[in-house]
A and B are shown apart, each in its own frame.
Chain A
């Protein structure tokens, strides 16, 4: 384990020193990667651990972004300590309201309804001109403040992002390894048997859904501070597609797979955009290629091998099992 520890310390030091060696654009991109990594891991709580394929995860992301933007621009409140809890609370409330409809439904219904409800939030944001600014969104977001400090520099924002994304990843890591996380995986593997064992499947799913939306709102808030704006596009279905692509590219069967997927796609997007403007085509091809050629994602196979070594023998791949809920539900 000595080498692993060493690599970890090296990684932590590199992450802490990064903003001092990087330029403005690299810092901006790094905050983006951190926000989207947290976004993708929160998404994978649903997909990988809960077997719930959501196509509406843009909704909590956008709710987080819009909450901090509205508080700052309409309420004059840009303190992280106020805006962030407000963003999380708003997304969790929305998750509770829509979750009551979506979590009791089987896989296919779940997927369709998440897409439909997310588009509802998009329709609200893009049409409700009086509050959300409609199509133009809410540009000109002031930098967030933390106590007496204003986090106006890219470096300060980077550290905020590192703190929030790191904290979020740590909390989610603990969650999936807690008894609750194991119960969640049991409901994914076999909802009926879990119900026989006394697990309240719908309640476990709802709790997961609400938690995932809460962390996605943190990611959305970070993203808005980094972009200094919130747009209806933040909520558009293509963002849900993007986070799904990140997650399966990295591997939904592994905890850190989505982080890798988020980093790759975030860095790839500006590079590819320089070559041609058809980002959604590239993303779609990535999704299709992963589905056919790399169904476990980049890190999924590795997680599988490790589980095999630990003696946690399972018939099929973890990713494959995520889909099996549909048939039994």
Chain B
């Protein structure tokens, strides 16, 4: 029983990271109708920036976090406005190809800049120990990670439901053409959402530095898992991303504990099972058809 609870907590820790990654992915898809294949690689770049900044500041994770977000959000906005938006007119195929090209470039770029070794950071001092949860001892840092993801989910919920920005975002996500006809500048919204999504991914990448190790293959590994999350949850739906993250994160933790060699296979089995029952994901709807 305690072991199972421990695995649930392990799963939630990973789910927290997956949610930070897939929330941006799914919001970007909702607003721009593109899947950002480079999302995992941008999270990885964020992690390396955080590692670099933190190492210069004597291993201080908070400096790294700030640096990652400060570098990656403007980069995301520039990427969208400068390269992705002109390309979107040419067709979705080219957008996918381009973001995939970025994956290839960034994988080697971090190798070029920081070397092929695994990178990691120590936990900050006051979170280094274990926290007691009833009879259970669990790393305090992991609990903080879960709390951060929960907080981010709450903020996203408030922004989406309580602000004008969120309302415009939902409108574009539901029906882009009508929203534009009503005077919403969907393209400008896209740049903001892209920047924020990349910022969240970078935050996620930086936050897992003390928990996971980050290497140049990190980008693709995590983007595949983020894809599974959004496919399971329903593409374009933030709550789907949350649900998918928890489902995949916990399945993965139990997979590692029970069949260590095939934890990946278990995740794919979950994905296949969901797709058989609900092809558009747990909370997804069939896309609007318009010709």
Residues of chain A touching chain B, judged by Cβ–Cβ distance below 8 Å, are 53, 55, 101, 104-109, 111-113, 115-117, 119-120, 123-124, 127-129, 190, 192, 237-238, 241, 244, 248, 278-281, 283-288, 290-292, 295, 319-320, 322-324, 326-329
Q: Which of B90, B109, B235 contacts A320 (CB 8 A)?
A: B90
Asked if B29 is an interface residue, CB under 8 A from chain A, the answer is yes
Contacts beyond the supplied A111-B96, A329-B287: 6 A-B pairs with Cβ under 8 Å: A112-B231, A119-B264, A248-B97, A290-B97, A322-B91, A328-B289
Q: With the chains together, A109 CA to B227 CA distance in Å?
A: 9
Residues of B within 8 Å of A285, CB to CB, are: 101, 105
Q: With the chains together, A283 CA to B106 CA distance in Å?
A: 11
Asked if B104 is an interface residue, CB under 8 A from chain A, the answer is yes
Residues of B within 8 Å of A105, CB to CB, are: 279
Q: With the chains together, A248 CA to B287 CA distance in Å?
A: 28
Asked if B103 is an interface residue, CB under 8 A from chain A, the answer is yes
Whether A284 and B103, one on each chain, are in contact in the complex, defined by CB atoms closer than 8 angstroms, is: yes
A104 to B, closest residue via Cβ: B279
Query: 16 pairs across A/B with beta carbons < 8 Å?
Result: A101-B275, A108-B235, A123-B265, A127-B264, A129-B261, A248-B97, A278-B112, A280-B104, A281-B112, A284-B105, A287-B97, A288-B101, A291-B94, A320-B90, A322-B91, A323-B92
Q: With the chains together, A238 CA to B101 CA distance in Å?
A: 11
How many whole Å from B74's CB to the nearest CB in chain A? 20
Q: With the chains together, A285 CA to B108 CA distance in Å?
A: 11
Q: Which of B105, B227, B289 contacts A288 (CB 8 A)?
A: B105
Secondary structure dominating the interface of A = helix
Q: With the chains together, A190 CA to B289 CA distance in Å?
A: 12
Whether B97 and A326, one on each chain, are in contact in the complex, defined by CB atoms closer than 8 angstroms, is: no
Residues of A within 8 Å of B91, CB to CB, are: 320, 322-324
Q: Which of B90, B228, B262 contacts A127 (CB 8 A)?
A: B262
Q: With the chains together, A127 CA to B103 CA distance in Å?
A: 24
Residues of A within 8 Å of B29, CB to CB, are: 108
Whether A112 and B97, one on each chain, are in contact in the complex, defined by CB atoms closer than 8 angstroms, is: no
Q: Which of B108, B228, B261, B279 contacts A281 (CB 8 A)?
A: B108
How many whole Å from A273's CB to the nearest CB in chain B? 13
Q: With the chains together, A287 CA to B38 CA distance in Å?
A: 14
Q: With the chains together, A278 CA to B103 CA distance in Å?
A: 13
